[in-house]
Structures are given as C-alpha cells and as structure tokens.
Amino acid sequence: MQRASVDQLVGQNIGMYRVERSLGRGRVNAVFLARHPAHKNPVALTTFIVPEQFPPESHQRFHQRFRKEAARLIALRHPRILPVYEYGEYLGDPYLVTPYMAGGSLADLLKHRGRLHHVEVLDVLSNQSQMLVAGFGLKTILQMRGIGADERSYGHLLSIVGTLLTSAEYVAPEVVQGQLEDARSDIYSLGTILFEMLTGKPPFTGKNPLRLPGSTYSNEYHRYVHSALIFLWLSPPLSTRRLTAIPHVVFST
C-alpha cells in the first residue's frame, strides 16, 4: 500500500478538509491545520504514523482497532470533551479531525506560570470553565498491547512506537503495575493535576517516575490523596464512561 509522507500532506485534500499547514510532529503523530471549504473555522487534523516495520498482521490489527475506537469517539458528545468531527485513512495512515484550539493548554499555562492561584483553580474546575479534555480515547488507540508482542518492562504503558502513552507522573500505581484499572485510577490522575495546579509541580518526580508511586503512605502521598478528595468534592462528573487516557486539557476560545 502506498503511504503518504507527512511532509507532503500540506496542500492535500484529506476527507472533506484541505490541509493548510503543519502544527507539529512527534514520533507517533503529526498535527496539521486544515479547513472545510464550506466552513470558516479551522480544524486540527491529526494523522497517526504507524511504524513501517510492523508486519502485515500488526498493521491490520491497528487499523481495525482505530476504526472501532474512532467510531465510538465520533458518537461521544459531552460539553467538557473535545469532539471528533471525522476519521478516516489517507494513503495508509489513519487520521482524526477535531476543533482547532488556539487558546493553548493547561500544561502550557503551568509551564509559563508555575502554579495557579486557588481562585483560578476553582475556575478551572467550575461548570463555567472554558477548558476541554483533549486526547480522549487515544490510549486505547495507540497502545502497543493487542497489536504485537512487547517483552519490555512496563510494556503495557508503551505506544506503538515505544514511547510512554502518557507522562508517568500522572499514572496511578496499579496502572504502572499492570493491574486492573477503574475509575479510581482516573481519580488518582486527576488529583495529580490538581496538585500540580496548586503547587506548581506533580506530587512525585524523579529520575525514574515509573517507580515513584510506590512510595505510598508517605507524607507527600497523604497530601496528594487530600488533593484528590478536594477535586472530587469540587468538580462535576466528567462522563459516565471512565477515561481511557490521561488527557490533555485545552482552552477554548
């Protein structure tokens, strides 16, 4: 099958959208600014880069899973979750189309500010907040598990290109250990985000962040749990379906 070069997508028509310019590229995906000819507002078109060394059966499993999960994301509608407008495949690579968020992300804000005032944190958590969860469902789409064998330590946390599916500082201990995860794992992850908003840093940091959650029952851990409980008390439920990724949070404009 012919595959498109990421560098050659600018100017191409993909699905109902024309690609205008590149917004950024990583090992697992590339993001472009695109526009529907009948609409004024731009969109973000994200194409996923499947490793060329994958055997045919791994390619097939990945594309089948992408189509299944993308169809679910198309049907998902929630005022706090960034919607998916369209999905498809272009010359062998799958893609998703979402709104283009020009306001930046919570990670950008924390990198610039260090920490937020508690009034600002309350605003982020309020029903009137203009923040949306982005990247919902990408963990399921991009994880190596179910696509091919991986004997590496913490292989269940790795993407199809061998990178971590999310920043390790936000992953619950049971997820790191490969145990059953549920909504409580999401509470942990969301609590670490709240902790970082209030203090300017995640509750656990170090040279090997995958081992940090093991230091439970320390004073830092109890402070973190308290933050997570505050988060639950202040914020409304996000969805009846548990998070399948530790998402990015972006500002709408």
Cβ atoms of 198 and 227 closer than 8 Å:
yes
Question: Residue 201 has which token pair?
Answer: 């840093």
- Residues 150, 144 contacting (CB under 8 angstroms): yes
Highest mean pLDDT among 11-25, 104-118, 145-159: 11-25
Tokens of 180: 């059953």
Could you give the maximum distance between any two Cα atoms of the chain, in Å? 57
Q: What's the pLDDT band for 203 if we cut at 50, 70, 90?
A: confident
How confident is residue 5, by pLDDT bands cut at 50, 70 and 90?
Answer: low
pLDDT of residue 44: 95
Q: In terms of C-beta distances under 8 Å and separation of at least 24 residues, what long-range contacts does 7-14 make, across chains too?
A: 9/47, 9/90, 12/90, 14/45, 14/47, 14/88, 14/90, 14/95
- Angle, CA 132 vertex, CA 92 and CA 206 arms, to 5°: 85
Of the ranges 76-80, 99-103, 224-228, which one carries the lowest mean pLDDT score?
224-228
Question: How remote is the C-alpha of 175 from its chain's centroid?
Answer: 16
- pTM of structure: 0.77
Range 1-100 has CATH code 3.40.50.1820: no
Give the gyration radius of the chain's Cα atoms: 19
Q: Answer positive or negative: Cα dihedral of 231, 232, 235, 239.
A: positive
CB 164 within 8 Å of CB 158: yes
Distance (Å, whole) CA 144 – CA 10: 29
Distances (CA, A) of 153 to 141, 163, 177, 220: 20, 12, 10, 26
Measured CA angle at 108 (ends 70, 40), to 5 deg: 55
Query: Among residues 150, 240, 234, which one has the least CA distance to residue 190?
Result: 234
Residues of the chain with CATH 1.10.510: 101-253
Q: Which residues lie across from 81 on neighbouring strands?
A: 133
CATH 3.30.200.20 domain position(s) in the chain: 1-100
In the numeric block, which tokens belong to residue 152? Answer: 């590496």
43: helix, coil or strand? strand
Angle (nearest 5°) at CA 139 between 17 and 61? 80
Q: Which fold has domain 101-253?
A: Transferase(Phosphotransferase); domain 1 (1.10.510)
CA-based nearest residue to 189, from 146, 159, 157:
157
Least confident range of 131-135, 164-168, 202-206: 202-206
- Cα gap 253→26, rounded to integer Å: 25
pLDDT at 24 over 60: yes
Across 131-142, average pLDDT: 86
